[in-house]
Amino acid sequence: MRSSVLFVTLSSAMIAVGCAPPPDPLPGAPLDRHAYVWVMAGDAGGSDGLLVLDVDSASANFGAVIAERLLDTTGTMPHHIERHVHDGVLFANAWRANRTWIFDLRDPQAPEVRASFAGADGVAGWTHDMTRLPNGRMLVAFNAGPGDYVGPGGLAEVDDDGTLLQVASALMPGVEDTAGTPYVIKTVAGRDRAVVGLTEMGMPETTSFHDVNLLQFWRTDSLAPIAVIPLPPDGETRGHLWSSSIETTASGEMFTNTFSCGLYRIGGLDGDAPVATRVFTFPGGGPGLECGVGVTAGNYWIQAVAAAPGLMVVDLTDPAVGREVARLVMDSTAFPGVHWVSVDGSGTRVAITGGGAWLAMATFDPATGAIAFDAQFGSRADGAPGRIVRDMAGREVHPHGVAWGP
């Protein structure tokens, strides 16, 4: 295995660690036997689509692509995806196509397209993120207007057949056109509320990006934005700009990270005037050193950090002060552009993607925060951990989002 060094930091000690098998899952955790990888064609003649990987640790086919549902499209930029299959259904958006596909995965070995949709009733378009409501329907964050990538977006409630049930614009006092860009979304447990991060996804070659440091607080029973939540600067970094992910810990605390590498606690969610407080700052944040997607496992935050480079694990047991406890350093040549992370239902496996055709898997210990490359997932021809992803015809594809399911 090529030396992509891994360090686990516990208190002030730094301990070198090799690849490792999965730790014990959390008690009562669901067993995910499949990973669903949302991919863009890389080779000529290929198609964008969804690949199904066998991730049953007892299977002889562990890590292999066992099924696929390719689309009749290429270059659509498959992007965000639900992190877990919900009742046999999975939502996944393709950015450049301005379209979201809904997959039927009740039979993982025969995935089908159930429906697809684009904009929301002339109000908004460009789906970027989505989160499940308590009623099982999907709350969709649209990043811009309904036509070309211009103007404010909004939120919509959509059922599993792609039927639009309600929609509302993100515009409100304090949120103008250039800031009204819902990018990431998370519902508040036990309330008809959601927190929305405002960031432009944009078209990199044409969009003039604006400095935005705002979240919104929304009603979800009758959709409407009701409050603005600024991410305050610390006076030293730009870590308050561009919310990337919003996640909740096992203790019920909600946090957001930013592309400029800040991590904020969102407090006051029992009322209608939440506030955000910086609890941790990751290294980097400048051009080419942006932080990517973050995810929680228990009371830990797992963050893609370009400057590491790799993943950093922050203990949020004390929600007021984040404390780094582990780091997975990934060779930036073998793993360029580390960006996406998702954790399986057991809390013990982490899928990692970024720029290019690679997919890595790590094991995670939900008791200690320790993280390591997954030895069982194997290594590539160049010796780096993980795999170069190919469809069932052997064509190279570029993965982005990875979801987990039975």
Q: What band does 108 get if pLDDT is binned at 50, 70 and 90?
A: very high
Q: Where are the domains of the chain?
A: 29-405
What average pLDDT does this structure show over 356-372? 97
Predicted local confidence at residue 2, as pLDDT: 28
Predicted local confidence at residue 9, as pLDDT: 33
Please check the confidence at residue 66 and state whether its pLDDT lies above 50: yes
Q: Are 45 and 61 in contact (CB under 8 A)?
A: no
3-class state of residue 315 by DSSP: strand
Q: Are 382 and 2 in contact (CB under 8 A)?
A: yes
Q: What band does 115 get if pLDDT is binned at 50, 70 and 90?
A: very high
Give the model confidence (pLDDT) of 218-245 as tens digits: 999 999 999 999 999 999 999 999 999 9
Rounded to whole angstroms, how far apart are CA atoms 402 and 359? 9
Q: At residue 230, what are phi and psi to the nearest 5 degrees?
A: -70, 145
Predicted local confidence at residue 45, as pLDDT: 86
Q: What band does 78 get if pLDDT is binned at 50, 70 and 90?
A: very high
β-sheet with 34-41: strand ranges across: 65-70, 49-54, 34-41, 397-405
- Percentage of residues in the chain having pLDDT higher than 70: 93
Tokens 């549902």 belong to residue: 69
Rounded to whole angstroms, how far apart are CA atoms 38 and 21? 25
Rounded to whole angstroms, how far apart are CA atoms 87 and 399? 23
What average pLDDT does this structure show over 105-120? 97
Please check the confidence at residue 271 and state whether its pLDDT lies above 80: yes
Q: What band does 208 get if pLDDT is binned at 50, 70 and 90?
A: confident
Q: At residue 16, what are phi and psi to the nearest 5 degrees?
A: -75, 135
Q: Which region, left, alpha or beta, applies to residue 98 given φ > 0 means left and ψ of -120 to 50 means alpha?
A: left
Q: Are 317 and 299 in contact (CB under 8 A)?
A: yes
Q: What band does 19 get if pLDDT is binned at 50, 70 and 90?
A: low
H/E stretch holding 333 reads none
Q: Are 319 and 265 in contact (CB under 8 A)?
A: yes
Find all residues with CB under 8 Å of 318, minimum gap 6, and list them. none
Q: Are 404 and 345 in contact (CB under 8 A)?
A: yes
Please check the confidence at residue 260 and state whether its pLDDT lies above 60: yes
Rounded to whole angstroms, how far apart are CA atoms 394 and 405? 24
What average pLDDT does this structure show over 29-41? 92
Amino acid at 50: L
DSSP string, 80-112: EE-SB-BTTEEEEEETTTTEEEEEE-SSTTS-E
Give the model confidence (pLDDT) of 152-175 as tens digits: 999 999 999 999 999 999 999 999
Whether the upstream peptide bond of residue 21 has omega within 30° of 0, thus cis, is no
Q: Which CATH class is domain 29-405?
A: mainly beta
Q: What band does 27 get if pLDDT is binned at 50, 70 and 90?
A: low
Please check the confidence at residue 181 and state whether its pLDDT lies above 70: yes
What average pLDDT does this structure show over 324-338? 97
Predicted local confidence at residue 43, as pLDDT: 83
Rounded to whole angstroms, how far apart are CA atoms 162 and 114? 9
Q: What band does 1 get if pLDDT is binned at 50, 70 and 90?
A: very low
Q: At residue 376, what are phi and psi to the nearest 5 degrees?
A: -70, -25
Q: What band does 11 get if pLDDT is binned at 50, 70 and 90?
A: very low
Please check the confidence at residue 14 and state whether its pLDDT lies above 80: no
